Structures are given as structure tokens and as C-alpha cells.
Amino acid sequence: MCAGKNEEHVELLQLHDSNIRVADYLTALPPKTLLKQKLHQAIEYAKNRMAEINQSKS
């Protein structure tokens, strides 16, 4: 999470080369329950995406 855009960090991470995108910049943490929910959603999405990729390779 970031409070503002820092060109040095963006350049250091080379986000343009790794295809990483930032959807939201947060200045305060949301409630813990929401963080847990979003984390679980992200994990499920990643698992499903990996299964799709592995299936297409077969």
C-alpha cells in the first residue's frame, strides 16, 4: 500500500516490465475482515488461473 506515487520505486521495481499494475493506493488500512476477504479472493483467483494455465499446457 502506498500513500503516493514514487517514481524511484516504480522504476526500481520495473513494473512496466513485469506487467504488475496497481489498482488502488490506500492511505489507511481497511478493516481486518475486509483484508481477509480480499486475500482469500486473490488466492482463489490465483489458484483458478494456475489451473487454467496448467490445463492449457496439457
Question: Does residue 14 register a pLDDT over 70?
Answer: no
Question: Does residue 33 register a pLDDT over 80?
Answer: yes
Q: Is residue 16 part of a domain?
A: yes
Domain of residue 39: give its range.
7-57
Q: Return d(Cα 23, Cα 30) in angstroms, integer.
A: 15
Q: Is the pTM of this model over 0.75?
A: no
Q: How many C-beta neighbours within 10 Å does residue 34 have?
A: 10
Q: Is residue 2 part of a domain?
A: no
- Averaged confidence pLDDT in the chain: 76
Question: Does residue 1 register a pLDDT over 60?
Answer: no
Q: How many domains does the chain have?
A: 1
Average pLDDT over residues 32-49: 93
Average pLDDT over residues 30-57: 92
Q: Is residue 1 part of a domain?
A: no
